[in-house]
Structure 1
Amino acid sequence: MPTKKITYLVDGFNLYHSVRKAGKQLKASTKWLDLKSLCISMIHNFKPKADKLELENIYYFSAYAYHLNDPDMVQRHKSLVACLEDTGVKVEINRFKYKAIDCPFCNKTIPKYEEKETDVSIALKLQEIFIKDECDVAILVSGDTDLAPAVRLAIKLFPAKHTFFAFPAFRKNNELAKLCSGSITIKPKQYSKHQLPNPYILQNSSKIFKPASW
């Protein structure tokens, strides 16, 4: 049985909003997510034919919300990222972009911050991992339709590769589901099942404690 390599591309904010909603629904802790454990648990869902799958990489794309002027929020996020990196997840931190919006009703300029670089980063990484032959199967953990053009291009340029979606809970998108080799939707209970230990002990023996509000 041939072994196929699998790589996950994770839309951090799309996943976060799903995890947050799941926590409220379950009335359980879900934000201290062990992303690697979650991804490994889903591998069996993406087997092309009778091939054996082996995890190659997990890429996590996100950004720190400095514009909210909440240092504790940013630190909580950084604590989680440090744990994810320690488990072997490859993290790419992008940024929020300022955008001025002119209100037609009050004639005032309203400041708005949008996290837009993640979509582009995921789209480019999808092409990169196929070009470099890093993996045979790519799993996009997102329900963002902005990724549709990237998926179409990957399917066109790399017909021998497989692209799947693992939609975060409550974020399934039928348009994206029709584009790819297949899709699943993560169940809310999977988040509470795959949580990091508290405290998380890094490989250098230092400890990171789960934020009290999580």
Structure 2
Amino acid sequence: MEDFKKNKRVTFYIDGFNFYFGLKRTRKSVSGWKRYYWIDVVKFFESFLGEGQILEKVVYFTASPLSPAKNSRQSAFLNMNKAINGNRFEIVRGKYYEKPFTCPYCSGAISKPEEKRTDVNISVRMIGDCVLDRTDIVALVSADSDLVPPIEFIQEHYPDKAIKVYFPPSNYSNDIKDNLIHHRSKPVLLIKNQRRFEAAIVPDIVQHGAKTYTIPDKWKGE
């Protein structure tokens, strides 16, 4: 009787701000990268799947910016991806807060927005999906060293679950890299995968059913 080999389910957990600001830093020094703000993220990460692997889901962790203009751009990107990918794309939101601090120049009391909960949300979801056996391969898209503890927890308690890490462009973590090397793996550097970004670009105007999704004006051109 022929052996039946079940396909390995792969779930991508994207640290949205780590991913976006990695792209933003890269495009300041390398021309052309602004085009990759407006991509089909499911198509992009699905292109990394190997033989015998299937995409379970892409989970995008972020928070709504306090700036109306920034929030509008983010919403356009997220809504477009949700529309074209359906249940294969999930959004998990954290929070933005105004964090008070003292200005180092004038000693006045000012505030700045600070994103919260994303690393906790990612940690809980990765571990939860392992506990509930919802995935076989945990694919983390982040270079945030705060995510080393959940990686170590999964490695210790769920050794049958494989872990892959993808570093967003211009972002790097020696702590995560050292952990992976210890477990005979290594991070994937997305900055070296420009062709995959190119292949995942969507038209400036995406029509899906009765709805239209348009690239934000600020994201057009280079």
Contact 1:8 1:39 in 2 (8 A): yes
Q: CA RMSD in A?
A: 1.9
Pick the aligned partner of 1:34 from 40, 64, 75: 40
SS of the residue 2:139 aligns to: strand
Which residue of structure 2 lines up, in the alignment, with residue 152 of structure 1?
152
User: Who is 1:72 aligned against?
Assistant: 69
Q: What residue in structure 2 maps to residue 137 of structure 1?
A: 137
Q: TM-score, normalised by structure 2?
A: 0.84
What amino acid is the match of 1:73? K
Name 1:20's counterpart in structure 2.
24
Which of 24-33 and 14-23 deviates more?
A: 24-33
How does 1:60-139 map onto structure 2 within 5 Å?
60-66=60-66, 68=67, 71-86=68-83, 87-88=85-86, 89-103=89-103, 106-139=106-139
More off after superposition, 175-184 vs 149-158: 175-184
Pairwise CA distance, 1:65 = 1.1
Distance in 1, matches of 2:107 and 2:138, equals 46
2:195 is the counterpart of 1:187: no
Match of 1:200 among 196, 206, 222: 206
Q: Which runs of 4+ in 1 moved over 4 A?
A: 103-106
CA displacement at 1:21 relative to structure 2: 2.7
Q: Distance in 2 between matches of 1:187 and 1:103?
A: 35
Q: Report if aligned partners of 1:10, 1:140 keep a CA contact under 8 Å in 2.
A: yes
Q: Secondary structure at the match of 2:37?
A: coil
Question: Cα gap change, 1:199/1:103 in structure 2, threshold over 3 Å: closer, same or farther?
Answer: closer
SS in 1 for 2:172: coil
Kept in 1, the 8 Å contact 2:12–2:140? The answer is yes
Paired-residue identity, %: 25
CA apart distance, 1:114: 1.4
Q: What is the match of residue 54 of structure 1?
A: 54
TM-fit CA distance, 1:104 = 6.6
Corresponding residue SS for 1:92: strand
Residue ranges of structure 1 left out of the alignment (5+ in a row): 45-50
CA offset digits 1:76-100 (Å, max 9, x no partner): 1101110111213101122112322
Aligned length: 204
Give the unaligned 5+ runs of structure 2. none
